[in-house]
Amino acid sequence: MSKTSANLKKYSGILLHPTALPSKRICGGFGQEARSWVKLLSENGIGAWQFLPLSPTDSTGSPYSSPSGFALNPWFLDENDLVHDGFLTIEKLKELPGSVFDDSSRFDNFKLANIRSRKLGEALRESWNSQNAEAHIEFNNWKEKQWWLSDHALFMEIRFQNNLKPWWEWPKNFANYNRKVLDKYEHDHRNQLLEHFLIQWHLFRQWKKIRLLAKELDVLLFGDLPFYVSRDSSDVWANRSLFSVLSDGELLSQSGVPPDYFSSTGQLWGNPVYRWQRHKLSKFRWWRKRFARQFEQVDLLRIDHFRAFNAFWNINGIDKTAQRGYWSPSPGLQIFSLLRKQYGKKIPLAAEDLGIITPDVERLRDHFDLPGMKILQFAFDGNLDNPYLPENINNYKSIVYTGTHDNSTTNGWWNEIDENTKQRVYEKFSSKEESSPAWMLIDIGLSTKSCLFISPLQDLLDLDNHARFNTPGTVSDNWSWRINDFDEKLLNALSKYS
């Protein structure tokens, strides 16, 4: 932590998703590796840990297209903690698929991770009756408060029984959310549903430990919330009237962004858009519950695609490109006003306001005093009015990044840009010490007048694009990079950053 002036403190943070933490398991998660990471941040005076959505992923590993937006990702559940707490035996631990995992530098076997999570759920259910009364009471008290849990478990189990087909391809009574049929299914499959309940309860317990530790050590947990939810999700399946989708799964309207310099046809995302009038009738109850669920888990929440809270690009459900879409208004002012009434004047939100943002979107952001984002990799195009140039970042309520999870690593970006752009970076770099491109941008970012500077861990480690976390518009080789260990290189990087 440094000071930008006599009164304003500047904080630093690191962007790293839990899957990328070092672990002997198939991927990182909520176990000792996460607690050690929080301690390392605190020891080095690094005040924020930012990560991607903690919800389950789609088949490509993306946490931005989740089958269940209120649930936590079962991959994160740490089996060693379960053994320590008496919920799992060492014998059952050894039987789990993927227990011997040689490649700790990549995580790309998402199918194996799902199989392992299912087997873990079975093991927890088999030992459940032998657990003491205190555990049962704690579980039941927690379960009664999770309004979303039953739909989540039903959705995931019926989906599994139907070979992971989307819900609109299930047998009609299931696809149509026939409550009488579902009640019978709940009774007949109570053991399988219990497995989903137990997985989520243990995830809650493990994340709670991390949350308490982070609070104790003054490390801010910085989460992420996609604006849209997936069409093939429990959220849409169980709350169909709130989304632009028919009972057979066909889309009335779908999401995307309009044509621009990068794409003459725009981007077609394929999520159902919101039926805002239905949400208004309930005073945005679903949205209030959605935010409440997130605020249980994090201290600060980034809203992905924030501009859609002002207006969204509305595309006909049958269109194959985004060209014929049009802007439709969203009730962001009403939603955030309700949040302010509930959580106080300072709502713990940050706006992803990248790209072409109109004045009315900026007014919505500023009305609720939300910090926006500034990306240094976007700054050096030669335009003196570029809002990402360090000298143009004059708003303390800004969060500055070298790049995000969707960008190249800074060293990878350096290999892609021309010599004129590189020269403009050199001109902004004030240190006399020789530095890599990544550390030049880190130095520039730390010198800005923003309240918070975030670097992806890959930049601190001076990595090129082999460590890139996601390339938008592609479905393979994403979400896979991870660190091998908290080794000397990493420890030195954290020390230098602090």
User: Which residues are annotated as catalytic?
Assistant: 304, 352, 406
Q: Using alpha carbons only, give the angle 34, 38, 43 rounded to the nearest 5 degrees.
A: 145
Which two three-digit tokens encode residue 45? 């005076």
Which two three-digit tokens encode residue 102? 């040689």
Category of 393 on φ-ψ map: left (φ > 0), alpha (ψ -120 to 50) or beta: beta
What is the C-alpha to C-alpha distance for residues 17 and 14, in angstroms, rounded to an integer? Answer: 10
Phi/psi of residue 332, nearest 5 degrees: -60, -40
Q: Cα 358 to the chain's mean position, in Å?
A: 25
Pick from 80, 453, 7, 35: nearest CA to 215: 35
Percent helix, percent strand, percent coil in the chain, to nearest 5 = 45, 15, 45
What is the C-alpha to C-alpha distance for residues 150 and 184, in angstroms, rounded to an integer? Answer: 13
DSSP H or E segment with residue 56:
none
Whole-Å CA distances, 30 to 36, 82, 211, 299, 380: 10, 11, 10, 17, 38
DSSP H or E segment with residue 448:
none
Cβ atoms 468, 481 nearer than 8 A? yes
Q: For residue 272, what are the β-bridge partners?
A: 254
Strands 300-303 and 349-351: parallel
Answer positive or negative: Cα dihedral of 30, 31, 33, 36: positive
Which two three-digit tokens encode residue 192? 């399988």
Total H helices, total E strands in the chain: 19, 13
Which two three-digit tokens encode residue 272? 């159902």
Tokens 């399946």 map to which residue?
Answer: 237
Pick from 469, 473, 475: nearest CA to 456: 469
Q: Cα 377 to the chain's mean position, in Å?
A: 21
DSSP, res 86: T
Q: For residue 9, what are the β-bridge partners?
A: 3
Contacts of 183 (CB under 8 A, 6+ apart): none
